[in-house]
Amino acid sequence: MVSRRIVLHFPHRLVNQPIIYKLVKEYDLQFNILKAFVTPQEEGLMVLELSGKKENFAKGMEYLESCGVRIQPLSQDVVRNEDKCTNCGVCVPICPTEALVVDPQTRKVLFHNKKCIACELCVKICPPRAMEVSF
Amino acid sequence: MRTINEINEKIKNGQVVVLTAEEVIELVEKKGIKKAAQEVDVVTTGTFGPMCSSGAYFNIGHSKPRIKIGGGTCTLNDVPCYTGFAAVDIYLGATAIPDDDPRNKIYPGEFKYGGAHVIQEIVAGSDVRLEAVAYGTDCYPRKKLETLINIKDLNEAVLFNIRNAYQNYNVAVNLSDKPIYTYLGMLKPNLGNANYCSAGQLSPLLKDPYYKTIGIGTKIFLGGGIGYVAWQGTQHNPSIPRKENGIPKVPGGTLAVIGDLKQMKPEWLVGTSMLGYGVTLVVGIGVPIPVLNEEVIQYAAAKDKDICAPVVDYSSNYPQIIPGSLGEVNYEQLKSGKIIIQGKEVPTGNLSSYSRARLIAEELKSWIKKGDFTLTEPVAKLPQAESGYGFKLLKERSIITKEV
């Protein structure tokens, strides 16, 4: 079994195709949509957790790429600008997945990318705006 | 035990013993008050939190021909300045925002840029765009000025904050069923989080709760440079309830501080945006506490556990000024990441960077040890706990005069 959080970018021409349906039907993959939106006339974006058998997962990815969907691992999406972060910690109780935690010794805020689901709640509430989104 | 003059002699001779407030806590625990007081000359403190009543004044130099900005209008990077002074003196407040900022019209407003950000850019040495409009006089005929300015060319650039370094602060929570956006951050509904704002055991006025050593004229670390306590801060309130250790249970004393912006650094003056609230400046302040006697070090050794803050509802109690707190928590509990309110476990967030406060206390310690920073005797005391000085609410009165 593999399970990964990924970001899918759908070009405009694919927005009305049942792509996720095929992932389930043809490749027996489970999905949990964390976020999705469609920008009019531009592209669709979906953040999801995808899991299934290793070989099915690989085939599913191949299928997505063959359709023209761009795949990105989720950890790249929210990044912390280390120059801007003051390590105050106001983001910590806002983060739903404990991707942002305070180190009890250094009192610095640690950002665990792997736990981040890119909900972006921290982005606008960060006083020095150190959390940046890069899709 | 020792005087400030004696401490300064030791600083000059390189013999001074300086500890940060954290280190002095450990020393007192190990050796006791008496021994610690004999060994330590100075305790350094630090805080790095948002302080809205901050700002800077500038004298930009006279243009040719002359312009009288006083009584006119002036913006720096589109952020309006106060111009009610002489010809080329202006004051930029931390919370000022461009006239065309949508504010909270699109709720919650983002407040991406304002006075605090301009101050940080000026300190960083960036050029900023000044635009001024004046009415013109015989001696100051010019009516319009558009120019880039840079801190290195200004005559004076002075940080002058009328309220900083609050002695203790509320812990903010939200009892309503909607998220709210406050100066203490976003508060999730139904006690979703509890936000606080203090360096606790490192915070200057919590380490000298009765203002015995910190007074008007005290030399301090301000924004990475040297500053001074100019006066008590606005809303200075020494007449509040205190614990038996002297530490205020609610927001108490404050400081007004001043210092040369040209010496300061952008990492210690940070422009920030509070979602749905506004722009504010995070200011780094460090105050040295001279160990004049055992009493001083006893106060300076107060631990997070000894310092309590009130939990206040910001959905109704705070805005409507309804007295009442949801209880008291200490900073050790707050720093653990979770507190219990009304039987519910609530995650905590600090708005004041403890790791940066620690760096400030360490930096100030190194300045003193190197002999770069001597201590000053205050020229006057801040209003004291028994003085009767306090702060009141506004008494609104009708402006319609009755016909006789």
Average pLDDT (B259-272) is: 98
Mean predicted confidence (pLDDT) in B245-269? 98
What is the rounded distance in angstroms from the CA atom of residue B338 to the CA atom of residue B353? 17
Does A86 share its domain with A114?
A: yes
Q: Which of A82, A84, A86, A119 to mutate to test the interface with B (most CBs of B within 10 A)?
A: A86
- Same structural domain, A50 and A103: no
Same domain, residue pair A118 and A57:
no
Residue B351 has its nearest CB partner, among A88, A94, A108, at A88
* Bond into B65 cis (ω within 30): yes
Q: A113 and A56, same structural domain?
A: no
Helix H or strand E encompassing B295 = helix B294-300
Q: How confident is the model at residue B64 (pLDDT cuts 50, 70, 90)?
A: very high
CATH number of the domain residue A92 falls in: 3.30.70.20
Residue pair B44/B18 in contact (Cβ under 8 Å)? The answer is: yes
What is residue B336's DSSP assignment?
T
Residue A35 distance to chain B (closest CA, Å): 20
Of the candidates A101, A106, A125, the beta carbon closest to that of B186 is on A125
Mark yes or no for CB contact A128/B271 under 8 Å: yes
Q: Which amino acid is at B3?
A: T
Helices vs. strands in chain B: H and E counts, helices first:
7, 24
- pLDDT tens track for B9-26: 999 999 999 999 999 999
| A85: phi then psi, degrees, rounded to nearest 5 | -65, 130
**Residues of B designated catalytic:** 139
Chain A residues in contact with B284 (beta carbon < 8 A): none
> What sign has the CA pseudo-torsion B305, B165, B277, B272?
negative
Residue A7: give its domain's CATH number: 3.30.70.260
CA-nearest residue to B109 within chain A is A124
Q: Is the pLDDT of residue B83 over 70?
A: yes
Are residues A100 and A112 located together in one domain of the fold?
yes
* B282 DSSP β-pair partners: B50, B270
Question: Poorest-confidence range of A61-70, B176-185, B351-360?
Answer: A61-70
In 3-state terms, what secondary structure has residue B371?
A: coil
A86 and A63 within one domain: no
Interface-testing mutation among B355, B356, B359, with chain A (most A C-beta atoms within 10 A):
B355
Higher-confidence residue of B386 and B144: namely B144
Chain B residue with minimum CA distance to A106: B355
Pairs of residues, one from chain A and one from chain B, whose beta carbons lie less than 8 Å apart = 79
Contact yes or no for B192 and A87 at CB 8 A = no
* More confidently predicted of B193 and A40: B193
Of B186, B346, B349, the CB nearest to A89: B349
Q: Among A59, A76, A93, give the residue marking a domain's end.
A: A76
B286 to chain A, minimum CA–CA distance in Å? 16
pLDDT score recorded for residue A135: 63
Q: Which amino acid is at B328?
A: E
Query: Are A7 and A65 found together in one domain?
Result: yes
Average pLDDT of the residues of chain B: 97
pLDDT at residue number A131: 96
Q: Is the peptide bond before B108 cis (omega within 30 degrees of 0)?
A: yes
CB contact under 8 A, B273 and A129: yes
Rounded to whole angstroms, the Cα distance separating B196 from B191 reads 14
* Residues of chain B contacting A125 with CB distance shorter than 8 Å: 185-186, 275
Residue A119 sits in the same domain as residue A61: no
Interface test with A, best of B353, B356, B360, B362 (most A CBs within 10 A): B353
Exposure string of B205-229, with b = 16+ CB inside 10 Å and e = fewer, is bbbbbbbbbbbbebbbbbbbbbbbb
* DSSP letter for each residue of B248-290: BSSS---EEEEEEGGG--GGGEEEEEETTTEEEEEEEEE-EEE
What average pLDDT does this structure show over B318-338?
Answer: 97
Is residue B305 scored above 90 in pLDDT? yes
Q: Which residues of A touch B (CB under 8 A)?
A: 86-94, 101-102, 104, 106-108, 124-125, 127-129
The verdict on A85 and A122 lying in the same domain is: yes
Calpha distance B402→B164 (Å, rounded): 42
Q: pLDDT-derived band of residue A49, with 50, 70 and 90 as boundaries?
A: confident
Dihedral sign (CA B37, B38, B41, B43): negative
- Give the total number of structural domains in chain A: 2
Which domain-ending residue is among A76, A107, A124? A76
How far, in Å, are B181, B184, B189 from residue B176 at the CA level?
A: 12, 16, 6
Higher pLDDT, A47 or A100: A100
Domain that holds residue A14: 2-76
Structure confidence at residue B54 as a pLDDT band (50, 70, 90)? very high
Residue B358 has phi, psi (to 5 degrees) of -60, -45
Residues in chain B within 8 Å Cβ distance of A106: 355
Both tokens assigned to B246: 């002297």
Residue of A102, A106, A108 lying closest to B337 (CB–CB): A102
What are the angstrom distances between the C-alpha of B326 and each of A45, B250, B295? 43, 13, 32
3-state class of B140 per DSSP? coil
In the DSSP assignment, the letter for residue B41 is: S
Domains of chain B, residue spans? 55-159
Which residues contact residue A9 at a Cβ distance below 8 angstroms, ignoring those fewer than 6 apart?
A: A43, A44, A45, A69, A70, A71, A72, A135
Tell me: the pLDDT tens digits for B199-236? 999 999 999 999 999 999 999 999 999 999 999 999 99
Phi/psi at B161 (nearest 5 deg)?
Answer: -105, 125
Taking the CA of residue A124 and the nearest CA in chain B, the distance in Å comes to: 6
